[in-house]
Structure formats: C-alpha cells, structure tokens
C-alpha cells in the first residue's frame, strides 16, 4: 500500500479542485489531488465559458492572467430576444465591468500545466475512494489505482468531485439537507468549428422554445436549443439542429449563421440543487458537490471558482495565523452566494424558456418589456449576470 501525507487532500480534478490546489500551493500549503478519470478525459469535457470579473481575478491570482488576456473574449453586453425583438443588456454601462468568455476546457488545461509543472501530486484514475474520520483531527482517504491501493493522511479533505462524487454521499444522511428542483426539458448543445453569429451572446425565446448563441473563440461556436429531457442524441442529427436553431433566433442572427459538422453534442438537464451545510468537521464541499444551477445564468463555473477561492483563503488563514474564523464561516458564506445564484439562474430560465401555457407566455412578455423600459430592472439583471449582486 502507498501511504501519502499532506495538509489538504482534494477529491476531484476539475476546475474547483485544481484552482484550490494551485491557490494553496502559492500560499505554501501542501495538497494531494485525486481524480477518478484520466487527465485527457477531464481536459476534454466541454462546459461553461462565461466568467465573472471575480473569477477572472481568482485565475489571475492563480497565475493564469497571461493566458486569459491572450485568448479570452471580453464582452460588454449580451442580447435577450423575445419573438425576434431584442434587448441588449449593456453590462459595461450598467455595472462598470464586462464578462469574459474563456472555456472551462481551457481553464482546466491551463491549471493542469501549472500544477504538474510545479510537481504537484495528482493521482489520476483513483477508484474506490473512501473518506474516513473526517469528524476527527486526523482524516484520511483510501483509494485504488492500477498499481495498487493507497492511503492519504491529511488534516482537511476538500470535496470537489461533483454532484455524483463520493464526498457528499459520505456524509451521514441526517447531517445534510438537500434541496432540488428539476425541469422536464434540457439544453441540446453542439460545439462547431464555425464563426459565431455575433460578437456577444444571444439568449432567444421563440414560440418554438429557447435557443442560445454562444462561443468559445472567434472560430469556435457553442449553440443550444431547448428540448424535452427525454430526447436522445440520435434524434438530433446536425441538419435538424441547425434548422431548429435558425427558426428560434432573430432573423438578423439567422442570416449570419454559418453551419458545419458538430464537434461535440450533448443534452444537459436543467436542475437546481443545493446541499446544506457545506462543512462537516474536516470535510468541506465545493462546487458541484454542493450546488448545481441551470446553465441559463452562467453561474456554475463561477460558483465553483468562488468556493475554491474562499476555501483557499480560509485554509491559508488557518495555517498562517491559526485563525479558524474563515473555516467557521465558509459554509454560510458559500451557501448565501449559491442561493443567490440559484434565484437568478431560475429567473433567467423562467424568462427565456417556452413553458407551454398562455399565462407563462404573458408573464414572460411583461418581464421582457420591463427590462426594456426600466433602468432599475436592467441594472439588476446586469449586476446579477456579472456577479456583483450575488455576494
């Protein structure tokens, strides 16, 4: 058996776990990271790409400012369209800050390069991970890899292993409360090697359903359409997707649409999930292990990064000053931010998706008209989207 000793054991090699590991490393705190998949698999996952200014600042602290500045797209606004009529949310004018488009895939690759370049201990393909004694001051993990079993002895465990990971499920059921709401439809998304239809994102609500025009770069587009969650990918060949997208976006955007073979295609559920609390003795949850929001508000990656940043600060305060106030407040602070993001993401989803009844259609139209008429409503939308109103 391989025995490892560290200060913080991190479960999950996605953005939250990697960012936490990097921030701890820069602060002089040692960690060991365990990831169930291969590095190639984790780096290839296609996920979110809209970053709040706070997330960009965290990435800069982690050492990624050059990569973001060189490769990211900076957006001063975005469009919300209702039956072809569009309202542009001028983020820069309403909040003083833009949002940044830089894909989770790129962030993950950048962080792996930093961590492995610094000699980080990262165990890929770590199976059968089990958490032990996290209510004591000597927690530990056991695991198995292709070369045998092992144990990690540590002082804290950070559960950054997503909604299906072992961290949250290791907590006794009577010690955790779960709140969840799922919708009967999802997002069918494709990635294509085609130029985006616009320089900014377009959220479009039509009589046929929701569509989103997004991008990963000036030559790589990401598009979504609302579909029943029961749909299968083989029901959506590329030609059907492009035809449906063209019918759901404004005419001026459809005229610019460049189609091509899909590089990746998937259906993502629309789900809100929050687990409380986020700390259990020496086990602390972060990211999707504790909360999930619908992608409509572009909050998932930003919440995960915020958790990692706050948890890193709390652990550094503990090790540098023997001050546990950050750890004691971590759960409450992270949950307040998570619930604010849940509220906004749910509101954005209800505003932009076809819900199937006339009453909802009328309410949506009234909401859209309010955004066009009211500076205060537009400002709240912008601040929520940019993260400055979420705490």
* Distance, CA of 81 to CA of 73 (rounded, Å): 22
User: Fold for domain 181-270+352-386?
Assistant: D-Amino Acid Oxidase; Chain A, domain 2 (3.30.9)
CB of 177 within 8 A of CB of 165? no
- In terms of Cα–Cα distance, which of 145, 162, 133 is closest to 292? 162
**Please, which residues have CB within 8 angstroms of residue 305's CB and are 6 or more apart in sequence?**
15, 16, 19, 51, 54, 55, 58, 59
Helix or strand holding residue 204 (H, E): strand 202-206
Please check the confidence at residue 391 and state whether its pLDDT lies above 80.
Answer: no
Query: In the prediction, which pLDDT does 156 show?
Result: 98
Q: Is the pLDDT of residue 307 over 70?
A: yes
How far is Cα 157 from Cα 169, in angstroms, rounded to an integer? 14
Residue 140: what pLDDT? 98
Per-residue pLDDT, averaged over 142-165, amounts to 97
This prediction has a pTM of: 0.97
1: number of Cβ within 10 Å: 8
Domain ranges in the chain are 2-73+100-176+272-349, 181-270+352-386
Looking at 3.40.50.300, 3.30.930.10, 1.10.10.10, 3.50.50.60, the CATH number of the domain 2-73+100-176+272-349 comes to 3.50.50.60
Average of per-residue pLDDT values in the chain: 96
Percent of the chain surpassing pLDDT 70: 100
- Show which residues are catalytic: 75, 203, 295, 299, 385
pLDDT digits (tens, 9 = 90+) for 199-223: 999 999 999 999 999 999 999 999 9
Residues 250-294: pLDDT tens digits?
Answer: 999 999 999 999 999 999 999 999 999 999 999 999 999 999 999
Amino acid 48: pLDDT = 74
DSSP string, 74-139: EESEEEEEETTEEEEEEHHHHHS--EEE--HHHHHHHHHHHHHHTT-EEE-S-EEEEEE-TTSSS-
Determine the straight-line distance between the first and last CA of the chain, rounded to whole angstroms: 45
Place of tokens 């759960």: 331
The confidence band for 46, taking pLDDT boundaries of 50, 70 and 90, is confident
Q: What is the predicted pLDDT for the residue at 220?
A: 94
Q: Report phi then psi at 38, rounded to 5.
A: -80, 160
Mean pLDDT of 86-93: 97
């Amino acid at each position: 058996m391989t025995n490892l000793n560290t200060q913080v054991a991190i479960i999950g090699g996605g953005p939250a776990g990697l960012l936490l590991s990097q921030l701890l490393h820069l602060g002089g705190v040692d960690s060991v990271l365990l990831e169930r998949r291969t590095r190639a698999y984790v780096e290839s996952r296609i996920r979110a790409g809209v970053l709040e200014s706070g997330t960009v600042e965290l990435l800069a602290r982690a050492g990624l400012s050059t990569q973001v500045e060189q490769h990211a797209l900076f957006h001063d606004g975005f469009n919300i369209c209702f039956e072809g009529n569009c309202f542009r949310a001028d983020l820069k004018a309403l909040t003083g800050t833009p949002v940044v488009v830089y894909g989770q895939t790129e962030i993950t690759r950048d962080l792996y390069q930093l961590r492995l370049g610094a000699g980080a201990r990262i165990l890929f393909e770590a199976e059968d991970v089990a958490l032990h004694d996290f209510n004591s001051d000597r927690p530990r993990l056991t695991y198995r890899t292709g070369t045998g079993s092992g144990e990690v002895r540590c002082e804290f465990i950070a559960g950054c292993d997503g909604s299906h990971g072992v961290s949250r499920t290791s907590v006794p059921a009577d010690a955790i409360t779960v709140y969840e709401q799922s919708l009967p439809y999802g997002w069918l998304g494709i990635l294509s090697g085609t130029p985006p239809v616009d320089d900014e994102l377009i959220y479009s609500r039509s009589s046929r359903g929701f569509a989103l025009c997004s991008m990963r770069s000036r030559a790589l587009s990401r598009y979504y359409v609302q579909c029943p969650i029961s749909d299968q990918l083989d029901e959506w060949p590329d030609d059907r997707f492009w035809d449906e997208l063209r019918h759901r976006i404004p005419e001026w955007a459809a005229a610019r649409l460049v189609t091509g073979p899909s590089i990746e295609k998937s259906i993502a559920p629309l789900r809100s999930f929050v687990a409380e609390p986020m700390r259990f003795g020496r086990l602390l949850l972060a990211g999707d292990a504790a909360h999930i929001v619908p992608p409509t508000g572009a909050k998932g990656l930003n919440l995960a990064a915020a958790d990692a940043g706050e948890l890193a600060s709390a652990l550094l305060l503990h090790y540098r000053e023997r001050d546990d106030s950050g750890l004691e407040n971590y759960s409450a602070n992270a949950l307040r931010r998570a619930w604010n993001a849940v509220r906004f993401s749910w509101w954005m989803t209800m505003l932009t998706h076809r819900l199937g009844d006339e009453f909802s259609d009328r309410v949506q139209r009234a909401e859209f008209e309010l955004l066009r008429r009211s500076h205060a409503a537009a400002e709240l939308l912008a601040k929520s989207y940019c993260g400055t109103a979420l705490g």
